[in-house]
Amino acid sequence: MAQSVCAAPAWFTSLIRFWDVTRIASTAATYLALIITSAAVGYWAGVGSTLPITRGASAHDEPDNDSGEDSDTGDDDGLEKVTPGAFEECKMVLVVRTDLGMTKGKIAAQHATLACYKALSNTNPKLLRHWEVTGQAKIALQCSSEEELLMLQAVAKSLNLCARSIQDAGRTQIAAGSTTVLGIGPGPVRLINQVTGKLKLL
């Protein structure tokens, strides 16, 4: 004779089903929250930290000129003409004169990056933002003389690229007025390589 099986009450079955649905919804909500948090942190680390509101200082703040000054202020004709493609890589290059024998600290104190940034913030902010969101690539290169550096600057300007040379104040290692570093860009890689493609890394 078969044994009869006592069925669970209907209210108990409904409770179990409700608990399963609630658990699935809770798990989905947890995963969604993790995805949103990860995306927000990634944005902040990659892009948000470059915005003026998060830097705590304006792009137009005056630099500390202990190590030199921009020798090309006011020469900004044509900078607004450079327009990168939607997904085109951009970079900035810093060309350092090796014949001056500057120490690493002295090289780091030059303001070519800031000079280029300030120039483009006034003339081509769209290009500057494109460079910021595509990684802010900066490459240090070397040249062997002031003549070579000035020639590179002239070629860059002929392509409507931002080109800023720095003249040292002469307070420490080298003579006052010495042209030390040339900043070119930011700009499309294809254009900047036409100027500095044959130079060696610093």
What residues does each domain of the chain span? 65-201
pLDDT category at 35 given cuts 50, 70, 90 is confident
The pTM for the full model equals 0.65
Rg (CA), the chain: 28
- Residue 53 scores a pLDDT above 60: no
Amino acid 57: pLDDT: 40
Say what percent of the chain tops pLDDT 90.
Answer: 50
Higher-pLDDT residue of 72 and 58 is 72
Amino acid 55: pLDDT: 43
For 143-184, the pLDDT digits (tens) are 999 999 999 999 999 999 999 999 988 888 888 999 999 999
Amino acid 15: pLDDT: 59
> Residue 110, class by beta-carbon neighbours within 10 Å (0-12 exposed, 13-18 middle, 19+ buried)?
buried
Look up residue 101 and give its two tokens: 């024998």
Amino acid in the structure at residue 166: I
Higher-pLDDT residue of 179 and 26 is 179
According to the CATH classification, is domain 65-201 in 3.40.50.300?
A: no
Amino acid 85: pLDDT: 86
User: Three-state DSSP class for 32?
Assistant: helix
- Residue 51 scores a pLDDT above 60: no
